[in-house]
Amino acid sequence: MQKHERLQGLYAITQSHPEGFDALLNQVAGALIGGTRIVQYRDKRPGDVRRKSEGAALLALCHEHDALLIINDDATLAKAIGADGVHVGKQDNDIASVRATVGGDAVIGISCYNQLPLAITAQNAGADYVAFGRFFPSLTKPDAVQADIALLGEAKQSLRIPVVAIGGITPENGGTLIQAGADMLAVINGIFGAPDSAASCRRFRLLFDTPERPPS
Q: In this structure, what is the dihedral angle of CA atoms 198, 137, 22, 203, given to the nearest 10 degrees? A: 0
Expressed as residue numbers, the domain containing 177 is: 3-209
Quote the pLDDT of residue 214. Answer: 42
CATH number of the domain encompassing residue 59: 3.20.20.70
Residue 215 lies in a domain: no
Using CA atoms, how far apart are residues 12 and 102, in angstroms rounded to an integer?
A: 21
Residue 105 lies in a domain: yes
Residue 214 lies in a domain: no
What is the secondary structure of the chain as a DSSP string? --GGGG--EEEEE----TT-HHHHHHHHHHHHHTT--EEEE---SS-HHHHHHHHHHHHHHHHHTT-EEEEES-HHHHHHHT-SEEEE-TTS--HHHHHHHH-TTSEEEEEEET-HHHHHHHHHHT-SEEEE---S--SS-TTSPP--THHHHHHHHH-SS-EEEESS--TTTHHHHHHHT-SEEEESHHHHTSS-HHHHHHHHHHHHHS------
Structural domain total, the chain? 1
Q: Which of 42, 51, 99, 203 is catalytic?
A: 42
Quote the pLDDT of residue 92. Answer: 62
Region of 108 (left: φ > 0; alpha: ψ -120 to 50; beta: rest) is: beta
User: Residue 42 catalytic?
Assistant: yes
Residue 72 lies in a domain: yes
Residue 47 lies in a domain: yes
Per-residue pLDDT of the chain (216 residues; tens, 9 = 90+): 667 789 999 999 999 999 999 999 999 999 999 999 999 999 989 999 999 999 999 999 999 999 999 999 999 999 999 999 999 987 666 899 999 999 999 999 999 999 999 999 999 999 999 999 999 988 877 788 899 999 999 999 999 999 999 999 999 999 999 999 999 999 999 999 999 999 999 999 999 986 554 443
Q: Which of 3, 141, 202, 205 is catalytic?
A: 141
Q: Which residues contact 22 (CB under 8 A, 6 or more apart)?
A: none
User: Residue 111 catalytic?
Assistant: yes
Q: Which of 111, 138, 197, 200 is catalytic?
A: 111
pTM to 2 decimal places: 0.94
Residue 216 lies in a domain: no
